[in-house]
Amino acid sequence: MTVTLYVPRDCAALAVGAERVAQRIAAEACARNADVRIVRNGSRGLFWLETLVEVATPAGRVAYGPVTHADVAGLFDAGFLAGGAHALNLGLTEEIPYLKKQERLTFARMGVTDPVSVADYVAHEGFAGLRRALSLAPAEIVQQVLDSGLRGRGGAAFPAGIKWKTVLAAEAPQKYIVCNADEGDSGTFSDRMTMEGDPLMLVEGMAIAGIATGATEGYIYVRSEYPHAIATLDEAIRNAEQAGFLGDDILESGRSFRLIVRKAAGAYVCGEETALLESLEGRRGIVRAKPPLPALQGLFGQPTVINNVITLASVPLILARGADFYKNFGMGRSRGTLPFQLAGNIRHGGLVEKAFGLTLRELLYDFGGGSASGRPIKAVQVGGPLGAYVPESQWDLPLDYEAYAAVGAVVGHGGIVVHDDAADMSQLARYAMEFCAIESCGKCTPCRIGSTRGVEVIDRITSNQNRPQQVILLRDLCDTMLHGSLCAMGGMTPYPVLSAINHYPEDFGIEAPDRAAA
Amino acid sequence: MHDLGIATAIAAAHKDVPSGLLPALHGIQDALGHIPPEAVPLIAEQFNLSRAEVHGVVSYYHHFRSAPAGRVLVQVCRAEACKSMGADALLAHAADRLGCDVHGTSADGQCSLEPVFCLGLCASSPAIAVNDEVHARITPALFDAIVEEARSAS
């Protein structure tokens, strides 16, 4: 009987040798006359266990990890094709606590299915949302998205349904759906995992968005640093077209939707929606002033829905299960789930999808198992390179857009980067300014010049040249950038800088305000 | 075909695609390893743009290069997640081992070193890419082995 094995094709698995593991398993099976079928699935997101090899057994899928090519012969000797005991045997995959404790809605198929197989996708609830959408009027689809409470997962957290409603109401000869897949934030990889591990979910979400708003063309703008994601998306789109879920006359409904993948070229600011549109139109990716909103004048001047990968990928489930199902997860005005991404100096780094409202401490210790180095965790940057450094005193706040905003932090795209006590926060603040200087599009002065001056001022603070005055100057500069920049690049760079100086003043050679007063 | 002929042909193939300039530039760089400055006027002509506009696009994006890289292109991630796991020291090691500065090419022209901001491997830091192939959890010893393999393979 054929035994089915799963070896991930996600690039985090490939980066630790998954390809050689798959090859070695195939060769070993051949030499031992074992009848195996190797499925190249996505990653479960338990990256410290990659390469995570799974074996389908009558009891369920049994996991082995982290497997290297050198382990393969031993695994065969131990009878792993029948789920046999071995030092790398982790038991049933679904019972691994890190996975079991999650609330996987968007990532339910992640690592389970063959990412480019339409049949596998359909067997796991795929295209149920699209079928439902085809039975509804456009305004009813938009209402479902509004009722679900879904907010943009790219970082700005604007309600997705309102964008869609604006585009639906706009009169135009052509409308577009644009997927912002320029996931440039350090500490984030949920978009990459989606495109590599369940790309049909994004395809389905975009097709639903098209049907809901009257857009017949969609573009996925993917960063050039993600070649695997681009290749997997292309393959998934071809397969969806062949199966009639995309293209002209979707499922004989008379509706059409075409999808085009566009490769970006390495500019961080192109993650900002208007810069992205400029880039998609073939120009330098420079930020546009708003208004007009992209929903009214977006790609090629036409009404455009522009959403992040996870936003669009959340839609199929909302349509398939109903707005209430999704809305019942989460808290306050943060509804549903967010794929949190645990990264940096963390023992068990990976993807944790949970409803909004859990705390950073739960993520860091219950899921993450503390720092990778074994040293105390000092600072945690939440929400990407433009997010604040969150000190331990705030690790018990609920992860919720409003609760974080109240302390001057952001949830953003759900990226969480952990630093241990070896981190020098003045150098991380300097890096934030340096990054802004390298990546600024240059259109507005606060961002273009402020970032360069920011590096210089921090250097003067750390080398103690007129330190007290320079600290005042830095705060002033941050205020100018915060309020005077055209987009989040310059407007949010002060978040990491100010949080570093406020919460870790000793790293800048200054006393904490409360201690100074005492 | 001459490099400029290839560049012109690729540009011509994209000129009627809506906003085809970026895909054309990617095509040219994929084929030639860089975008020759002499090709800029020819690309501009195909797209009915000014030379300044095409030059502006090529020079704006980090991905496009106007001169060829070494046969082994090493990119070291220096974003926050990798920094928290020693990316700065790794970058210094890379510069030392390859014998070139960041953004530079080794004296023998074999290897180029570039910083990159996030490869999406933030839970497996530090990460590098060598000729577009990604590697995670890099130690100096692992770095040396990967580069050595790439040198002998290319």
Whether the CB-CB separation of A213 and A178 falls below 8 Å is answered with no
Which residues of chain A does B82 touch, with a Cβ-Cβ cutoff of 8 Å?
186
Give the single-character DSSP code of A248. S
Quick one: pLDDT at residue A62? 98
**Which residue type sits at B83?**
K
Give the number of other CB atoms < 10 A from CB of residue B103.
Answer: 9
Judging contacts by C-beta atoms under 8 Å, the chain A residues touching residue B118 are 184-186, 188, 225
Q: Which two tokens stand for residue A255?
A: 């509706």
DSSP, res A70: G
Residue A516: per-residue pLDDT = 43
Distance in angstroms (rounded) separating the CA atoms of residues B139 and B141: 5
* Beta strands at A60-64 and A176-181: parallel, antiparallel or unpaired: unpaired
B91 has a chain A CB within 8 A of its CB: no
* φ/ψ bin of A322: left (φ > 0), alpha (ψ from -120 to 50), beta (otherwise): left
Q: Please give the biggest Cα pair distance in chain B.
A: 51
Say whether A344 and B22 touch across the interface (CB within 8 A): no
* Interchain contact B73–A (C-beta under 8 A): no
Calpha distance A157→A296 (Å, rounded): 19
DSSP states of B56-113 as a string? HHHHH-TT--SSPPPSEEEEEE-SHHHHTTTHHHHHHHHHHHHTS-TT-B-TTS-EEE
For residue A314, what pLDDT is reported?
98
Mutate which: B14, B22, B146, vs A, most A CBs within 10 A: B22
- Give B-chain residues touching A225 at CB under 8 angstroms: 116, 118-120, 129
Q: Which pLDDT belongs to residue A155?
A: 85
User: For residue B123, which residues of chain A lie inside 8 Å, CB to CB?
Assistant: 12, 47-48, 189, 341-343, 346, 349-351
Least Cα distance to A276 among A247, A299, A296 occurs for: A299
Longest dimension (CA), chain A: 77
* Residue A144 CB neighbour total at 10 angstroms: 24
- Has residue B67 got a pLDDT over 80? yes
pLDDT of residue A517: 41
Alpha-carbon gap, residue A278 to A298, rounded angstroms: 9
Contacting residues for B5 by C-beta, under 8 A, at least 6 apart: none
Residue B13 has pLDDT above 90, yes or no: yes
Distances (CA, A) of B23 to A263, A499, B28, B132: 7, 40, 9, 18
User: CB of B108 within 8 Å of any CB in chain A?
Assistant: no
Q: Express each pLDDT in B17-48 by its tens digit.
A: 988 999 999 999 999 999 999 999 999 999 99
Provide, as residue numbers in chain B, all residues whose Cβ is less than 8 Å from the Cβ of A266: 61-63
- Put simply, whether B2 touches A (Cβ < 8 Å) is no
> Hey, what amino acid is at A56?
A
Q: What three-state secondary structure class fits A344?
A: strand
CB-based contact, B21 to chain A, within 8 Å: yes
Per-residue confidence (pLDDT) for residue A303, from 0 to 100: 98
Cα B13 to chain centroid, rounded: 23
Residue of B nearest to A442 (CA): B60
Token digits of residue A214 = 């009257």
Number of H helices, E strands in chain A: 22, 16
The minimal CB distance from A266 to the residues B57, B62, B122 is found for B62
Four-CA torsion A197, A198, A199, A204, nearest 10 degrees: -170
Put simply, whether B48 touches A (Cβ < 8 Å) is no
Query: Which of A14, A192, A417 has its CB closest to that of B84?
Result: A417
Q: For this complex, say whether ipTM is above 0.95.
A: yes
Q: What strands, in cross-sheet order, belong to the sheet with A36-39?
A: A36-39, A3-6, A53-57, A60-64, A89-92
Determine the length of chain B: 154
Burial class (CB in 10 A: 0-12, 13-18, 19+), A375: middle
Residue spans of chain A under pLDDT 70 = 513-518
Which bin fits B103, alpha (ψ -120 to 50), beta or left (φ > 0)? Answer: left
Cβ-nearest to A284 among B18, B56, B129: B56
Q: Do A192 and B120 touch (CB under 8 A)?
A: yes
CB distance A43 to A110 below 8 Å: yes
**Given the DSSP bridges, would you call strands A389-390 and A415-420 parallel, antiparallel or unpaired?**
unpaired
- Give CA–CA dist A332/A356, Å, rounded: 9
Contact state of A189 with B123 under an 8 Å Cβ cutoff: yes
Q: Cβ distance A89 to A64 under 8 Å?
A: yes
Best mutation target among A417, A424, A433 (most B Cβ atoms within 10 Å) is A417
pLDDT of residue A511: 83
Q: Which residues of B touch A368 (CB under 8 A)?
A: none
- Whether A192 sits inside 8 A of B118 (CB atoms) is no
Q: Distance from A429 to chain B by nearest Cα, in Å?
A: 11
Distance from CA of B107 to the nearest CA of A (A): 26
C-alpha–C-alpha distance, residues A423 and B85, integer Å: 10
Say which of A15, A381, A431 has its CB closest to residue B135.
Answer: A15
Which residues are CB-neighbours of A219 under 8 A, at least 6 positions away?
A176, A177, A178, A179, A259, A260, A261, A262, A280, A299
Backbone angles phi, psi at B133, to 5 degrees: -95, 130
Tell me the per-residue pLDDT of A66-102, one tens digit each, with 9 for 90 and over. Answer: 999 999 999 999 999 999 999 999 999 999 999 999 9
Measured CA to CA in angstroms, residue A132 lies from A211, A253, A319 at distances of 11, 12, 6
Residue B9, min C-alpha distance to chain A (Å) = 18
Three-state helix/strand/coil letters over A279-307: HHCCCCCCCCCCCCCCCCCCHHHCCEEEE
Question: What is the three-class DSSP state of A117?
Answer: coil
DSSP state of A159: B
- In chain B, which residue's Cα lies nearest the Cα of A192? B120
Q: Out of A268, A282, A423, whose CB is closest to B19?
A: A282
C-alpha angle with apex A43: A38 to A49, nearest 5 degrees? 95
Residue A377, min C-alpha distance to chain B (Å): 11
Q: Which residue, among B28, B3, B2, B31, has the nearest Cα to B15 in the 3D structure?
A: B28
State how far the Cα of A104 lies from the Cα of A352, in Å rounded to an integer: 8
SS3 A15: coil
Instruction: Provide the shortest C-alpha distance from residue B94 to chain A (in Å).
Output: 18
Q: Which residue of A has its CA nearest to B135?
A: A15
Residues of B within 8 A of A48 (CB-CB) are 123
Amino acid identity of residue A36, one-letter, is V
DSSP string, A353-390: EEETT-BHHIIIIIIT-S-SSSSPEEEEEESSTTSPEE
- Give CA A328 to chain center in angstroms: 22
Torsion sign across C-alpha atoms A12, A14, A17, A23: positive
Give the nearest partner residue to A342 out of B80, B121, B123, using CB atoms: B123
- Specify whether the CB–CB gap between A217 and A176 falls below 8 A: yes
- The verdict on whether omega for the bond into residue A376 sits within 30 degrees of 0, i.e. cis, is no
Would you state the pLDDT for residue A364?
98
* Distance between CA atoms of residues A219 and A205, nearest Å: 13
Tokens for A10, please give them. 């996600």
Determine if the pTM surpasses 0.95.
yes
**What local confidence, expressed as pLDDT, does residue B99 receive?**
95
